[in-house]
């Protein structure tokens, strides 16, 4: 994969770009552009490259390879973002940018590839610190409520028992697990899901456990718990009012309750993913919402509900859960994809 490399992580809200100049340099020149402010991915890339060319002057070289993570399923040449209006042809985009190589990944496929590279400063343990119990080369899972809800796995292409072997090749397992049907763990959650089904034919995990889903969860809480008429509130307002100190003018008990149900439901969903993948290497939590919840998330029922799986509770107790606090982690995953292709 010839250098320089143009890296990108494009979600429903932000397009993050970065640069790798050559084999001896790391990831540099990070920049975030709002998706809504650009006509499409080509315009966003050109805006980033124009600023890079201006700052680097005569030393600037056009990119020769690129790896982009995008928030949608990758099928064929035409790509349409799930929660944004961008649509493009991967072949045409590579041609317009003059690329010799162009790798396109699902955004959580890239985040999964970043997991072996994450340092302690980029992670926070959630619940009991079971880090020592993680099987080093076992399957890992990553889940992230952002604009949508991403899910992916990561598997080492060696035996999980071969701890002394060389660093393995890692295989990311992309999927659309966020669109799996969300399950209730008790009667109250069943009532919340029933209320949501009155608005939507299919209540997926993403339908409630994401930036686009929080307003729907809030409506359900108002209907079931407070008998209130439907009130449409923005996700940002729900988070702010739910995190406000009790008694503060902006505090709202229904918003706080919405966040509590959000964390509990997410814990149950994450436990399901861990069981499905056998993620004894750990479950990692990405996305932009959870870091904003701060201590409230760490004190929530997330971990309790993660483990509450009947006969497999003891199995899940051994699986650590970590919050990824670095919003640019997926960019290192895109670089990993190009690095592994170079190794062949």
- Residue 243: the pLDDT is 97
Q: Which pTM value belongs to this model?
A: 0.89
- Residue 71: the pLDDT is 85
Angle between helices 187-197 and 253-277 (to 10 degrees): 100
- Residue 281 reports pLDDT greater than 90: yes
Q: What is the pLDDT of residues 168-219, one digit of tens each?
A: 789 999 888 999 999 999 999 999 999 999 999 999 999 999 999 999 999 9
Taking the C-alpha atoms of residue 116 and residue 103, their distance in angstroms, rounded to an integer, is 20
DSSP per position, 52-75: HHHHHGGG----SEEEEEESS---
Confidence of residue 10 (pLDDT cuts 50, 70, 90): very high
- Residue 110: the pLDDT is 94
| Positions of E strands within 195-307 | 283-285
- Residue 216: the pLDDT is 96
- Residue 128: the pLDDT is 67
Determine the distance from the C-alpha atom of residue 215 to the mean position of all C-alpha atoms in its chain, rounded to a whole number.
19
- Residue 131: the pLDDT is 47
Which is higher by pLDDT, 120 or 18?
18
**Percentage of the residues of the chain whose pLDDT score is greater than 90:** 77
- Residue 249 reports pLDDT greater than 80: yes
Confidence of residue 160 (pLDDT cuts 50, 70, 90): low
- Residue 163 reports pLDDT greater than 60: no
Q: How many CB atoms lie within 10 A of CB 314?
A: 9
Strand, coil or helix: what is 4? coil
Q: What is the pLDDT of residues 138-147, one digit of tens each?
A: 999 999 999 8
| Cα end-to-end span (Å), the chain | 10
**Percentage of the residues of the chain whose pLDDT score is greater than 70:** 95
Nearest alpha-carbon partner for 323 in 202, 155, 143, 133 = 143
Q: What is the pLDDT of residues 320-340, one digit of tens each?
A: 999 999 988 999 999 999 998
Confidence of residue 29 (pLDDT cuts 50, 70, 90): very high
Confidence of residue 7 (pLDDT cuts 50, 70, 90): very high
- Residue 165 reports pLDDT greater than 80: no
Which is higher by pLDDT, 136 or 14?
14
- Residue 11: the pLDDT is 86
Name all domains of the chain by residue range, CATH numbers in brackets.
5-113+328-343 (3.30.420.40), 120-325 (3.40.367.20)
- Residue 159: the pLDDT is 56
Which is higher by pLDDT, 313 or 75?
313
Strand, coil or helix: what is 335? helix
Give me the chain's average pLDDT, please. 91
Token pair belonging to 300: 């929530």
- Residue 130: the pLDDT is 47
- Residue 344: the pLDDT is 57
């Amino acid at each position: 994969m010839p250098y320089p490399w143009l890296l990108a992580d494009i979600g429903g809200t932000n397009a993050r770009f970065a640069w790798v100049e050559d084999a001896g340099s790391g990831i540099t020149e990070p920049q975030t552009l709002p998706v809504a402010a650009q006509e499409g991915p080509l315009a966003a890339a050109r805006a980033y490259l124009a600023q890079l060319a201006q700052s680097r002057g005569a030393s600037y070289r056009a990119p020769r390879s690129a790896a982009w993570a995008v928030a949608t399923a990758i099928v064929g040449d035409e790509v349409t973002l799930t929660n944004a209006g961008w649509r493009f042809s991967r072949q045409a985009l590579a041609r317009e940018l003059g690329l010799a190589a162009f790798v396109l990944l699902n955004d959580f496929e890239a985040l999964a590839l970043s997991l072996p590279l994450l340092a302690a400063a980029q992670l926070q343990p959630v619940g009991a610190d079971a880090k020592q119990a993680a099987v080093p080369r076992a399957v890992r899972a990553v889940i992230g409520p952002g604009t949508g809800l991403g899910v992916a796995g990561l598997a080492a292409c060696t035996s999980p028992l071969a701890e002394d072997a060389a660093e393995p090749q890692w295989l990311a397992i992309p999927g659309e697990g966020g669109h799996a049907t969300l399950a209730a763990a008790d009667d109250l959650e069943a009532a919340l899901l029933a209320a949501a089904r009155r608005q939507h034919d299919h209540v997926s995990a993403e339908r409630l456990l994401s930036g686009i889903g929080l307003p729907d969860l809030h409506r359900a809480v108002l209907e079931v718990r407070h008998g209130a008429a439907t009130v449409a509130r923005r996700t940002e307002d729900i988070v702010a009012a739910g995190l406000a100190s009790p008694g503060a003018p902006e505090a709202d008990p229904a918003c706080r309750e919405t966040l509590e149900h959000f964390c509990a439901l997410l814990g149950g969903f994450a436990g399901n993913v861990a069981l499905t993948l056998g993620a004894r290497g750990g479950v990692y939590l990405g996305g932009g919402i959870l870091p904003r919840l701060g201590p409230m998330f760490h004190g929530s029922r997330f971990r309790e509900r993660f483990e509450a799986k009947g006969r497999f509770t003891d199995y899940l107790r051994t699986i650590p859960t970590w919050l990824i606090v670095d919003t640019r982690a997926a960019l290192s995953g895109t670089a990993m994809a190009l690095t592994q292709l170079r190794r062949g």
